[in-house]
Amino acid sequence: MMLLAMPSSRALQSIISLAARTFSTYPHRHRPYQMPSAIIQPTAAHTATVIFAHGLGDEGASWRAAISGDYDYRKPGELTIPARLPHVKWIFPDAPEQAVTANFGTEMPSWFDMSNLPLPPELYLSKVVDDDESVKNGVQIIDDLVQAEVKAGIPESRIVVGGFSQGGALALAAGLGGKDWRTKSSGDDNKLAGVVVLSGWMPVREKFKSRISPHAKSMPVLWGHGTADAVIYHKVGEISVELLQDQPGIVKHGAHDQLGAPGINFRSYERMGHASCKKEMDDLVTFLGSVVPQQQT
């Protein structure tokens, strides 16, 4: 299996083995700031947008490189992901620098504060890992990007939010959350086209389900996770999906079900660690082709 090494280029490895310290909070509900973003422009008529959030300690440019094909994951003659989805604009925002408790309070690119890495299942089920207030701040950043695309003429129903690791957790909150999280949406109860969670988890586990929007049961979700993930354990992904299934109407699909159908399609990638792989990227393209297909103009 060919892997795309997606953990941070900026010191993520240094925090994997750190123990938890005193839990801290991000001080402001939401502070506007001009966020730098790496972008892949569409090569055909722009009719859909994907907003994809990187993992802890990383930057948007890393995922732009992966999606653009800078990593050698293609077969000879195979098109890049942007070429297969020429109508899609990709936005890879950079997280703000903020103190991270799991890194002894050191500032680093982070969507929200969290107390622990790695994240094994027993810890996920027994402790509050994510700081609620800073998760809200991170979701507002994504919502700002969504609303900018809406103002540019792309409806929310043609926008997908996704992310890797911490970015995947953020995307889940932004995509399935109601107005308690996405306060600026003017669409059909915050209904986006779909959500992509790669090697992520359900954040603020004890509060998440109370904030789920009514549209969550009809939201297509692609959830990919490596079975050998030693950072965000594969079992944590499975538990997250099981907890979401407790909500009436949220369906979990199997690996052989259609990508892009309403509900959560959880896909396991054998022997894959905290990274991505060609099969996962192919599944991503299939999913996007289903939820935001190219429109005839």
Q: Among all residues, which ones are annotated catalytic?
A: 165, 229, 274
- ∠ CA 133-136-141, rounded to 5°: 135
* Nearest in space to 138 (alpha carbons), one of 269, 14, 29: 29
- Alpha carbon 64 to its chain centroid, in Å, reads 14
CB atoms within 10 A of CB 242: 12
Give the DSSP per-residue string, the chain: --EE--S-SSSHHHHTTPPP-S----S-S-------EEEE--SS---EEEEEE--TT--HHHHHHHHHT-SS-SPTTPPPHHHHSTTEEEEEEPPPEEE-GGGTT-EEE-SS-BS-SSB-HHHHHHS--B-HHHHHHHHHHHHHHHHHHHHTT--GGGEEEEEETHHHHHHHHHHHB-TTT--S--SSTT--SEEEEES---SSHHHHGGGB-GGGGG-EEEEEEETT-TTBTHHHHHHHHHHHHTSTT--EE-TTSPTTSSEEEEEEETT--SSEEHHHHHHHHHHHHHHSPPPP-
Q: Which residues contact 282 (CB under 8 A, 6 or more apart)?
A: none
